[in-house]
Structure 1
Amino acid sequence: MKRRELLAAAIAELEAGGVASPAVDADLLLAHVLDVPRGNLLLVDTVSPEAAADFASLVERRARREPLQHLTGVAHFRYVDLGVGPGVFVPRPETELLAGWAIDALVAVRAERASRPPVVLDLCTGSGAIAKAIKDEVPEAEVHAVELSEEAHRWAERNLEGTGVDLRQGDAFDAFDDLLGQVDVVVCNPPYIPLEAWESVAQEARDHDPHLALFSGDDGLDAMRRLADRAALLLRPGGVVGAEHADEQGPGASNGGAAAVFAATGRWTEIRDHDDLAGRPRFVTARLAR
């Protein structure tokens, strides 16, 4: 079958299913089936009947809003690849900005203090995305990560194998008693969706991401409150914390949003909210008072 005809039919099916990026997803699924880079699809003229059947099956599943990354088995995050599937939160592109902030913070620590490696904790690590990206870009950093879900922890074990990251299983906000007061950077992508926002969650996330990684109390900030308290114990004086939040939890929120959570404790300075590439409030950072 002709590649162009296959892709045109797939795009139409994905559009009908409400997929946000039908052309991109169709390309990626066909590239996955053919085991070629997406950029090389233009070199493909015809597709075998067997490959066309496999492609059609994946397109049907994607049209039913199964996450693209579950179908390919891979999520790309900054410069690393991650195995993902049922039971683990699929890392989002916007979280790469939070990881980038943590990497910059660690580089700054390294420049200030050459006597020992910088120490970072990735709380609620999920697939291990942030921890793996940090270790990839700041290999001398001492990276620790924790995940509560047994299923997600298994994915993180697979993704972090051989990296040197210290991965643990447990409650992120009770973990690492052995590192109290010794950490330079705490980074966290906690659950932050309000329970009442169930209907507004994208179908891919609502039906396939673990709810443990999504929802956090009536206003979505329950985990953020625990993080503000726990990070204050984990960090050395002057250490920094960064955490992702929902669009609606930025500075314009009626309750002050994520930044107000840190301000309310009286333990944090330099509290700042950061936008994502689309200009939406995306993550908050703060420095532990000395």
Structure 2
Amino acid sequence: MYMKRISLDLVMTNDTVLVGHKSNDLKYFNQTIKINEQNYSALKELQIGKYWLQIDPYGVFHSAKYQLKSYAEYLQEIYEFQQKVESSRLNTIDELLAICMRYLIPMNMNLVLNTNSVIDYSAQLLQSLSNFGLTSVDRAHLYKLKTDSFEIYEEINCQYPFIRFVLPIKAFEEDWDEKLRCNKQFVKQTPKTVYGFLNQFYQMERIKKLWKQKQQSVKLQIQNVNSPEGICIAKQLSADWVTTNLQKDNINVQCDKVGTLGLIYIAFGCLLVINISIFAVKIKQMRSYK
């Protein structure tokens, strides 16, 4: 199974947002979203660049598009991008990032594509997104997204027009998500800024539920969803890598809760300290009697 949902994009006009969904049969439907006080600030940020792109921990790409010369041009450009992706056999995340960056990153972001160092440029991309102000949302406002294998997101009341862009990754079949999320080498190569997105786009309980459903060996715990701290990534990551890459951004790393054995050790230690203290007091009293 691979994801057949191809793309969701938006086109902005002066006071509305047109949302188009491109399905497998290449038919479109449009939905108009009126700009109001609640979503104006988010929409305004999109005008800084022609596109924005966000990579989430599930390997799903999010893009937004605005103010094209014509809707026909919009459809043609998306179609060409889709054809390019479908004609390529993407065997690594580097190849996937490379093709997305070649087609989706505008030159005004001051990024030059170099397929030999895609990870470095994707880090620059994420930094650019941060500069756009698109990562400052405290909680997720995501549309419902379904794939052939499982449902990634639960439906949330949306106040911001964040639109999914799901690529048909034919190289990643049933275990596409496992390759992206549970491959140690991929996780180690992923720009650390990606993990900063988790706190701002996902709620802790939703992530816990999704990871539990998939029974992944990787543990992820978010202790505070409303701040850029509290991310916990364990099991697949070495302690050295976690310390080096996450604590640089002042991210609090606490990868495992204290287990039963740990609690026993703590209790034993406390009793030992208490007994030593009592023994010391008794010795002091005996000396005072002399």
TM-score (norm 2): 0.30
Larger relative contact order (CA 8 Å, sep ≥ 6): 2
Bigger Rg, which one: 2
| TM-score for the superposition, normalised by structure 1 | 0.30
